Structure 1
């Protein structure tokens, strides 16, 4: 058995290049098990398209490690998250990223589980 380790701030995308800001978020799978997976997500000013909603098969626990973001839940509720804030989103609760901090990275830790 091997031990995996790392730092959530390692290998961040090069959003210092202004021309790259607004491009795609970075998703990195950190771990996977039979009933769960863990991802690091890095955003820098990105948001979901207006007509796009996540509708996932798994429950999702999301922690903002650094930065800030706002999620919109189906029905119009908005949830503002800053570093240290977390939310658990039940499976099939449609949601989208309404806003992420434009002046620096937002680093998310997402755990998907059944």
Structure 2
């Protein structure tokens, strides 16, 4: 078996019209992906509600999440991480438009 490798910040697409979700590693009960946002936000009224838990790290750019039942926005800067339990409804309030926002998301079974 050969090791797999890459660079999370290589080839980051700037100015894409949609968020880009790139799977990096998938195993039973585990999915790791790079997400690149260029000023996108969740559509009005849309909430993520996953059966998996999610740990997310902001690598570059800026963003804010809204978490159902919590007041205000959870602002994120490079280096900030957040663990969202399964079925923790959340949405992306905004991502910075000045540069790509790059996330590392780890989805895992509970």
Query: Normalising to structure 1: TM-score of the pair?
Result: 0.90
Structure 1 residue 106: Cα displacement: 0.5
Distance 1:14 1:32 in 2: 25
User: Can you give the 5+ residue segments of structure 2 that lack an aligned partner in the other structure?
Assistant: none
- Per the alignment, residue 43 of structure 1 pairs with 37
SS at match of 2:69: coil
Q: 1:20-31, aligned counterparts within 5 Å? A: 20=16, 23-31=17-25
Instruction: Provide the residue aligned with 2:62 in structure 1.
Output: 68
The answer for the alignment partner of 1:106 in structure 2 is: 101
Please give the secondary structure, in 2, of the residue aligned with 1:3.
coil
Contact 2:14 2:100 in 1 (8 A): no
1:70-109 mapped onto 2 (5 Å cutoff): 70-77=64-71, 78-109=73-104
Structure 1 residue runs without a partner (length 5+): none
Instruction: Specify the alignment match of 1:10 in structure 2.
Output: 10
Q: Equivalents in 2 of 1:87, 1:14: separation in Å? A: 24
* Displacement of 1:9: 1.3
Report the number of matched residues: 108
Q: Post-superposition shift, 1:76? A: 4.4
2:37 & 2:70 partners in 1: Cα distance?
22
Structure 1 runs (4+) greater than 3 angstroms displaced: none
1:11 Cα shift?
2.1
